Structure 1
Amino acid sequence: MGYWQPQWTPLHHGGGWRGAAAVRLLLLWCCIVRSVLTQNFPGSSNRPKSSPGVQLRWPDPGQVVIDNGLFQLTLSVPDGDVIGIRYNGIDNLLEILNKESKRGYWDVVWNWPGEPDKIDRIQGTTFRIVTKNEDQIEISFIRKWSKLSNETVVPLNIDKRYIVRRGCSGFYAYGIFERSKGLPDIEMDQVRIVYRLQNEKFHFMALSDDRQRVMPTPKDRLTGQQLAYSEAVLLTNPINLELKGEVDDKYQYSCENQDNRVHGWICSDPPMGFWLITPSNEFRTAGPVRQELTSHVGPTTLSMFVSTHYAGKEVVMKFRGGEPWKKVFGPVLVYLNSVPPKEDSSSLWQNAKRQMYMESETWPYNFVESEDFLSSKERGMVVGQLVVRDRFINMRSVWGEFAYVGLASPGEVGSWQRENKGYQFWCRADRKGNFVINNVRAGEYNLYGWVPGIIGDYKYQGNVTILPGSAINLGTLVYEPLRHGPTIWEIGIPDRTASEFYVPEPYPTLMNNLYTNKTQHRFRQYGLWARYADLYPRSDLVFHVGGDDYRKDWFFAHVTRNVYNNTFKATTWQIVFELMTVRDADYVLQLALASAAESDLQVRFNDPSIEPPHFATGKIGQDNAIARHGIHGLYWLYSIPVPSSRLRRGSNRIFLTQALAKNPFQGVMYDYIRLEGPPGL
């Protein structure tokens, strides 16, 4: 779904006729807007009849070709792999040097509980035509699991589908994954679609307005120098000499789900684009700020539905006890565009963005034939207003300005960021905290949220039941964030990232020039974790409250130290602060982490050697955001009681030790730290 920020007057929330009428009027307005939008946009059923009709051909028994006059899509039968895309005078946009099964395909990474991962390249065993007319062809490739299936075949029933429409320069792909009751226990790490394009044609990649560049080739990576892990390569002898000395790593091109809506590649001769458009996030896992891969050297374009990237095994889908399950992944659109040879090819990106907005506005599509993909009339909406009540910030409630508000499977506070089996529906509130969550599939949900600048997570107490056509007004919701007493001091901004802290300049010999002079993306450079030892060669970071500036004096990641020949040791940071008085009452340290990778963060007050520590997280985190150029992974929040006996009048020190130290990527990123005094202080 698009992240629209609505501007509208808060609805009456007293439950009387005013609130009900306002909801009905808002729902009617949304329906009118949708009706207007779908008249001529891609995704509507109203295709111009002047466009050629869609045709189906069988060049040989093992292939089917769908042709709408704009492009031709060739699929293997009954496998359902995309083996050819003919467009703009190019016989095949996909890499013809690859085997047919390794050009455009679905795959799943899974395992039996406790056993190593397996990779299953999903190929159908049964083919059928779902819809065939001049306006649209939808075809299906089904594979059903049985006990006689190969050991690498994931125990799921899978239906891969493709749709080609009249007048649409591209095709839609989606999958229906189902576990019938009684299937064996499994774990599933990854579900994705992969498209591998012609290496000789596609050299320019675009992810956003400010993340576009000429890319190295696969051969450049083979001739380069592998760095600390296989994905990161120093380009020592690239074909394009302008790339010499740069680092290439697919994780440098990751993106949050909320922004991961269109990405792809541009061919210069002839000028054309290949784009992956994701019109909705409802089928992705772990919420809107979850980071995921996009496009990378190959040239490769990915549609990631499920993975452990930037989260680890905590978001693995685990099925036990014969649990039944079904989910629709997609549809996503592979969009093709072109311009005349003399026209600026940069317009291809702008056109792809416009197409993405059109696709998002017409979601949910009205042309998908599967009964498992719910139409707009089978969905509902939720509206309301979120306000924040924290008397230590303001005696009155304040608006939940630009809050993230979403519906996800019922669970604990904050469970949405680890949820992986259901659907999620998120929006951004306006500056007054008003929110509209539209096109929600019928079902049972909890409503979750958080407010940038405010610590912690909100959860609505009751379940939210969405029925077809329902419009629910939750009224004004009050979030009372975690709070013990007044703020004595704070470090950082509670925004779930470490972006406000000091991100160092990269090593000049290990740079990706895409991010040179782009402060907001500096964290995407390779090797920044090693800069800590350069900046603190003999002793660890010491931060003085009231004197130091966290933007300059607080390193973005609390990492280990390489002491000799890849032997690492734990590091201990210190927070030094003054207390004029100490009351005989409890204080609280609010500690929010933006990331954790195989870490045990230990906290001690005024005694660096006390055992056991006053507080320890225990081993937490597998998001690997430090190594993978992320500024956050999963969010962790700890409220740590501090008895007054641990504090003293005058100078105090808090010792933060990341105690696990076997490699350079273990560590945490802090989001926000706050010391609170007793309530009556």
Structure 2
Amino acid sequence: MGKKKNIMILATKIIFAVLLHFVSSTANSTSSINTQSNRKTTLRKHPRGPFLYPPVQLHLYDNYVVVDNGIFSITIASPEGAITGINFNGIDNILNDHNKNTDRGYWDVNWRDPSKNSKDNLDKLAGRQLDIIVNNENIVELSFKRPWTFPQEDDHVSLNIDKRFVVLRGSSGFYSYGIFERLKGWPDLDLYQGRIVFKLQDKLFRYMAVSDERQRIMPTFEDREKGVPLEYPEAVLLTHPSNSLLQGEVDDKYQYSTENKDNRVHGWICSDPPVGFWMITPSNEFRNGGPVKQDLTSHAGPVTLSMFFSTHYAGIDLGMKFRDGEPWKKVFGPVFVYLNSVPAEDDPVSLWVDAKEEMLMQTESWPYNFLNSSDFPRAHQRGLVTGRLLVHDVKLAYAKDAFVGLASPGTPGSWQEESKGYQFWTRTDEGGYFNIKNVRPGFYHLYAWVPGYIGDYMYHSIIYVFQGSKIRMGVLVHKPPRNGHTIWEIGVPDRTAAEFYVPEPNPTLMNQLYASQRTESFRQYGLWDRYTDLYPDRDLVYTVGVSDYASDWFFAHVNRNVGNKTYIPTTWTVLFDLEDVVTGNYTIQLALASATGAEVQVKFNDGRGAYPPFTTGLIGRDNAIARHGIHGLYWLYSINVLHSQLLAGRNAMYITQTRGSSPFKGVMYDYIRLEKPPY
């Protein structure tokens, strides 16, 4: 039976893969409707060709539409474009029908009018016009539009909005994408977050899966309401959960964040009937901040998101600021909402395995060829950029596993604070070769960074990718910052603080999911206060050649709690020996993995001087310490150290994070290196 079932699943996926390529050739029926009509219209057509599945049907009603392909049906409010219902496998509505129609499945953005110095506004992007883009037996594509016109409406973001939903024949799920546009001369705008949100039936969907290791039974929204809010309202101590196994745990949606490069599939499982609801994001080209930017996934509610852009783990500098009438257009998505099921006797967790397989198929099918928008270029309309990256530090080497990408023209490393354009990233192979596929036509800089080396690479010229182009970059060489040979180093230059000491959490503030996961232990709540527990009266002292950074270097340089919610700055000491001191300037390479409202000052030996030889100044708003991230934005400083500041024999370097008052002000170190004077 198992073998026969696997064959049937494989056959289904092969047939659907064929459909992905076929439907575009039949997507030729385009029309528009007056959504104020009181007439009900049902469009039914018979299957053509060899297809085994029923045709896609569109039903039009007074204030909503239903799209049904025989596997599932989706109900969408019209002309608003909010998803109010999903019927699948005997469940009348997967979405939480206790919520308002506008609070079940929807797009939204956070924005601000800078001219009014107003607070952030939330706009759920309710449409005003429904257009039927395609309607035939193989595909239905619907567009819910909202044009923006002067004068500006206080509750609406100044963007033209086009939300699209696509249902294919034989597909166990639907696609959604959006086109945001500003025209020249429009008013100033700050845009901070855009996403699609689904809120599911909380009595049905209790098991969440974000990765192979990060899966668990989750608390409900009501469990959180009964709990005790902690330092941030998103973090709640569960005091009266409906599942007693969750008693005394901390729940925080940021504990389930994931880097963009890994944020491809996540969602929920219902055990009775065994049904899965999954968010699949087959490409990162429209996401902001690059491949290692972190963002939200699924979280208690139950809620499932696809974050298109946000300021999470970066700060408001990652927001999009439009000034002086700047025009702009960008396509977000498509993302694929996948529905699956298994027989009642099967293990419901097997739905996660199937969802991963579906994610791979959707990823391999990118860019989709069935979308009916000229703003979304298909595969033959895109370009290819190839090359080889070497790295020349002490010696020449292959840039193995390097991140190489195309992003908007800027400066080295500017991609991590870029949101307006598209980004295309890949990893190099063992020999440093890279192949960036499916690049939208446009102007780009080529950027790179190599794990194991500090600094950013940027190719000196702007690259123009045009339709169908194949650009060969040849051999490129990244020369990381270095002034002299290494005397000593602390950490690994990988842009995270993961290699440093992450303490055990407070036993009263634990998430049991991470209790036995060493690589994910940094996601526990309240680790910032564990520094005070470990160093109640004195600060960290690290002796080069004796101490081990895996056990002796705290993962975050935070403030000390001295009681009454008072936090004071701390100074860490690095002790090191020099046989002699040569004439010339030494260098400290200081790489930070995160910074939040911090200022790092560095002194040598006589730490009593009023003016430090080096200070970063006030930097950072990524909030990674509070949001359980092991990194935020990357910072690199090359600090000049006069030989007169050093001694033959024992030396001390004092690193002070000077900004107190909060447990969350601080930095995470990526890597520190002392170099000899240049040759």
The two structures have a TM-score, normalised by structure 1, of 0.93
Corresponding residue for residue 39 of structure 2 = none
Within the alignment, does 1:99 sit opposite 2:100 as a pair? yes
Task: Report the secondary structure of 1:521's partner residue.
Answer: helix
Counterparts of 1:675 and 1:601, CA distance in 2: 17
Question: Which residue matches 2:8?
Answer: none
Deviation at 1:42, TM superposition (A): 6.5
Say which SS state the counterpart of residue 576 (structure 2) adopts. strand
Q: Does residue 54 in structure 1 map to residue 29 in structure 2?
A: no
CA 1:41–1:574: 2 relative to 1, 3 Å? farther
Q: Residue 166 of structure 1 is aligned with which of 158, 166, 169? A: 169
Q: Is the 8 A contact 1:41 1:358 kept in 2?
A: no
Contact 1:235 1:245 in 2 (8 A): yes
Between the aligned partners of 1:43 and 1:650, the Cα distance in structure 2 is 70
Deviations 1:285-341 (A, max 9, x none): 010000000000110000101111100011010000000000000000000000111
One-letter code of the match for 1:499? A
**CA distance in structure 1 between the partners assigned to 2:375 and 2:14 by the alignment:** 24
Counterpart code for 2:625: I
- 1:666 matched to 2:665? The reply is yes
**How far did 1:226 drift?**
1.3
Alignment deviations for residues 461-504 of structure 1 (CA, whole Å, 9 cap, x no partner)? 11111111111111111111101000010000000000000001
Give matches, 1:540-551, under 5 Å.
Answer: 540-551=539-550
Query: CA deviation digits over 1:36-70, x for unaligned, max 9?
Result: 99983663326961211100002x31010000000
Q: Are the aligned partners of 1:37 and 1:361 in contact in 2 as well (CA < 8 Å)?
A: no
- Partners in 2 of 1:431 and 1:544 — Cα distance? 35
Alpha carbons 2:16, 2:171 under 8 Å: kept: no
Kindly state the Cα deviation for residue 116 of structure 1 after the two structures are TM-superposed. Answer: 1.5
Query: CA contact under 8 A between 1:580 and 1:649: conserved in structure 2?
Result: yes
Report if the CA contact (8 A) 1:64-1:77 is conserved: yes
- Whether 1:64 and 2:41 are equivalent positions in the alignment is no
Contact persistence 1:107–1:121 (CA under 8 A): yes
Deviation at 1:229, TM superposition (A): 1.3
Match of 2:21 among 44, 50, 71: 44
User: Which residue of 218, 227, 231 maps to 2:230?
Assistant: 227
Alpha-carbon deviation of 1:526?
A: 0.6
Instruction: Output the CA distance in 2 between the equivalents of 1:605 and 1:651.
Output: 11
User: How far apart, CA to CA, are the structure 2 residues paired with 1:178 and 1:359?
Assistant: 27
Q: Deviations over 1:381-433 (max 9, x none)?
A: 0111100111x3x2xx1000111000000000000000110000000111111
1:568 and 1:638, CA in 2 relative to 1: closer, same or farther beyond 3 A? same
Q: Give me the whole-angstrom Cα distance separating, in 2, the residues matched to 1:41 and 1:576.
A: 64
Larger CA deviation: 219-228 vs 354-363 = 219-228
SS across alignment from 1:258? helix
| Contact 1:184/1:322, CA 8 A, preserved across alignment | yes
SS at match of 2:20: coil
Secondary structure of 2:166 counterpart: strand
Q: Distance in 1 between matches of 2:273 and 2:384?
A: 45
TM-fit CA distance, 1:264: 0.3
Counterpart residue type for residue 565 of structure 2: N
Q: Tell me what 1:346 maps to.
A: 349
Aligned to 1:653: 652
Corresponding residue of 1:528: 527
Q: Which moved more, 1:585-594 or 1:462-471?
A: 462-471
Secondary structure at the aligned position of 1:127 is classed as strand
Partner residue in 1 for 2:308: 305
- The CA deviation at 1:516 is 1.3
Q: Which SS does the other structure have where 2:240 is aligned?
A: coil
State the one-letter code of the partner of 1:452: P
Q: Which residue of 2 aligns with 1:560?
A: 559
> Which residue number in structure 1 is paired with residue 3 of structure 2?
none
Match of 1:602?
Answer: 601
Moved more, 611-620 or 125-134: 611-620
Q: In structure 2, what residue type is equivalent to 1:559?
A: V
The 10-residue stretch of structure 1 (36-45 or 508-517) with the greater mean CA deviation from structure 2: 36-45
Q: Is the 8 A contact 1:255 1:292 kept in 2?
A: yes
- 1:635 is the counterpart of 2:612: no
Q: 1:80 to 1:479 in 2, by over 3 A?
A: same
The percentage of aligned residue pairs carrying the same residue is 58
SS in 2 for 1:509: coil
**Alpha-carbon contact 1:378-1:441 (below 8 Å) kept:** yes
Change in 2 beyond 3 A, CA 1:228/1:407: same
CA 1:589–1:447: 2 relative to 1, 3 Å: same
1:246 and 2:245 matched: no
Alpha-carbon distance in structure 1 between the residues aligned to 2:639 and 2:647: 17
Q: How far has the Cα of 1:613 moved from its partner?
A: 1.2
Q: Does 1:675 find its partner at 2:678?
A: no
Judge conservation of contact 2:162–2:180 (CA < 8 Å) in 1.
yes
Q: Which has the higher contact order (CA 8 A, sep 6+)?
A: 1
Matched-pair contact (CA < 8 Å) for 2:489–2:674: yes
Residue 114 (structure 2) pairs with residue 115 (structure 1): no
Residue deviations 1:638-681, cap 9 Å, x none? Answer: 0011111111111111111111112101100000000001123x
User: Please, what is the CA RMSD of the aligned residues?
Assistant: 1.3
Gaps of at least 5 residues in structure 1 are: 1-35
Displacement, 1:279?
A: 0.3
Displacement of 1:222 in angstroms is 1.2
Q: Please tell me whether the aligned partners of residues 541 and 572 of structure 1 are also in contact (alpha carbons under 8 angstroms).
A: yes
- Confirm or deny: 8 A CA contact 1:144 1:158 kept in the other structure: yes
User: Hey, what's the Cα distance between the residues in 2 that align with 1:202 and 1:537?
Assistant: 44
Retained in 1: the 8 A contact 2:250–2:511? yes
The amino acid that maps onto 2:253 is K
Deviation at 1:149, TM superposition (A): 4.6
Residue in structure 1 matched with residue 444 of structure 2 by the alignment: 445
Pick one of 312, 317, 330 that aligns with 1:314: 317
Q: Tell me the amino acid that sits aligned with residue 471 of structure 1.
A: K
Rounded to whole Å, the distance in 1 between the matches of 2:615 and 2:17 is 58
- Structure 2 residue 419 is matched with structure 1 residue 420: yes
Asked whether 1:82 is paired with 2:83, we answer yes
Separation in 1, partners of 2:645, 2:368:
60
Equivalent position of 1:3 in the other structure? none
Distance 1:356 1:426 in 2: 18
Q: Give yes or no for the alignment of 1:210 onto 2:187.
A: no
Name the CA shift for 1:181/1:268 in 2 (closer, same or farther; >3 Å): same
**Correspondence for 1:14:** none
8 A Cα contact 2:16 2:170, kept in partner: no
SS in 1 for 2:17: coil
Cα offset, 1:115, TM superposition: 2.7
TM-score for both structures, normalised by structure 2: 0.93
Give 1:282's match in structure 2, choosing from 280, 285, 288. 285
Q: How far apart, in 1, do the equivalents of 2:584 and 2:470 lie?
A: 48
Aligned equivalents of 1:162, 1:524: Cα separation in 2: 35
SS in 2 for 1:377: helix
Q: Which residue matches 1:403? A: 402
Residue 503 of structure 1 aligns with an amino acid whose one-letter code is V
Whether 2:460 is the aligned partner of 1:461: answer: yes
Distance between the aligned counterparts of 1:141 and 1:511, measured in 2? 44
Q: Which amino acid aligns with 2:460?
A: Q
Are 2:195 and 2:306, in contact at CA under 8 Å, matched by a contact in 1? yes
